[in-house]
Amino acid sequence: MRFRRIFMFLILAPTSVALSAVERAEILQPANSQQSFLLATEQGRATIEKPGGRRKQLRLRSREHLTDFAETRAGWAAAGTRAASGKQRIIVLEQGAAGLQRLPEPPSQTELLRVQPRLMVAREEVGGLAWLEGSHPGSLSIRTAAWNGTDWQPVEVVSPSLKGSQTGLSGTVLADGSWLLVWAAYDGHDDEIFWSQKKGSRWSAPRRLAPNNLSPDITPKVVATKTGALVAWSHNDGDDYRMTISRLDGSTWQPPQTVGEKGAVDPQLSIVNRQIYLLFHSASKASWSILELAPTGRVLRQASVAGPGDERPVLTWTSSHQVGLRSASVRETTAQWGANR
């Protein structure tokens, strides 16, 4: 249960503590990476890294920190937070044909905190934003706003604040244009994975993604596929955390399947060069596991790279044209793949 306590401390600590916890440098990767852009970010500074070693420094204002990154048709977009005047606000930067611009803040901030902004990218353009908002870290609601290229549309509340926490927000836009959000919510006993989908102009009522259980389910991540979506999260089976995958097929979630070793935490789902990968830390082996997945969620092959869990890496193509890992302190490490399944 140690990971659960650390995770909740980072997410639900007072604002000043939560901000200091992310000051160190980290690398962000788009959930759907076709141009191989990376974003090296720390509080007050950020650098866009492009193929061939090209870099562009971004000037951020005091106490700004970028936490989400996406590729677009004409460039990229990044979202994060800024602490100012006793509130934590959302910032969005977009690099396009007109150059680098700072989008206006999403409207109608009614609470002190806005955290975990997630870019919703549709047809390779920023289509909106999802985030958590509340008066304190234990009372966060889930909200969204669409972006029409010029203005933010009215804010929508997908899930109001609950008696327990709501954390680990992840979102994507599906092939049919609908929006899908997944997150972890405390149900009075433990955290469970919930989801909601926006079709047309209406959000569905939040529902459990998998059958209720008496052990924590945390840190979900989602990516869109041609026929639906894949979600991965850490599930505690009563003994240790295990990596769990479920597939959205049309409007139905398929039964969850367990993959990987004991102590599987911190999942990252991404599409790199049109191939789906699941990256997570295997604490029992002190390594990062990489699973190449079919759109159905079936594991095609797997690899591992030794490394501690306190610095999250991202997937990259190494100089030898192999899939590997890159972190803020290690330029690249080639993955050792097992046999195809």
Distance CA(303)–CA(260), nearest Å, equals: 11
Handedness of CA 38, 22, 112, 7 (dihedral sign): positive
Contacts 24+ apart (CB under 8 A), 191-196: 191/4, 191/165, 191/167, 191/216, 191/217, 191/218, 192/217, 193/217, 193/220, 193/231, 193/233, 194/159, 195/231, 195/253, 196/142, 196/158, 196/159
Q: CB atoms < 10 A from the CB of 275, how many?
A: 13
Distance CA(209)–CA(227), nearest Å, equals: 17
Residue count of the chain, please give it. Answer: 341
Distance CA(126)–CA(173), nearest Å, equals: 10
Question: Coil, strand, or helix at residue 4?
Answer: helix
Residue type, 305: V
Distance CA(289)–CA(68), nearest Å, equals: 22
Radius of gyration of the chain, Cα coordinates, nearest whole angstrom: 19
* Residues paired with 28 in a beta bridge: 39
- pLDDT in the model for residue 1: 42
Residue type, 98: A
Q: What is the pLDDT along the chain (341 residues), one digit of tens a residue?
A: 444 433 443 344 333 333 333 456 899 999 999 888 999 998 889 999 988 789 999 989 999 999 999 999 999 999 999 998 899 999 999 999 999 999 999 999 999 999 999 999 999 999 999 999 999 989 999 999 999 999 999 999 999 998 888 999 999 999 999 999 999 999 888 999 999 999 999 999 999 999 988 899 999 999 999 999 999 999 999 889 999 999 999 889 999 999 988 999 999 999 998 999 999 999 888 899 999 999 999 999 999 888 877 889 999 877 667 788 988 888 788 887 876 66
- Structure tokens that stand for 213 in this block: 């259980």
**Helix boundaries (H) for the chain:** 2-12, 15-21
| Angle in degrees, CA 27, 268, 29, rounded to 5 | 30
Distances (CA, A) of 287 to 291, 292, 336: 13, 16, 12
- pLDDT in the model for residue 51: 83
Residue type, 25: A
- pLDDT in the model for residue 339: 66
- pLDDT in the model for residue 246: 98
Distance CA(138)–CA(171), nearest Å, equals: 21
- Maximal CA-CA distance, the chain: 55
- pLDDT in the model for residue 178: 97
Distances (CA, A) of 128 to 21, 80, 117, 165, 303: 27, 14, 10, 24, 35
DSSP state of 204: P
- Structure tokens that stand for 202 in this block: 């209406």
Q: What is the rounded end-to-end Cα distance, in angstroms, of the chain?
A: 32
Distance CA(243)–CA(143), nearest Å, equals: 27
- pLDDT in the model for residue 20: 35
Edge-first strand listing for the sheet containing 333-334:
314-317, 323-326, 333-334
DSSP state of 118: E
Is this model's pTM higher than 0.85 or not?
yes
- Structure tokens that stand for 325 in this block: 């890992």
Edge-first strand listing for the sheet containing 38-42:
26-28, 38-42, 45-50, 54-59
- pLDDT in the model for residue 19: 34
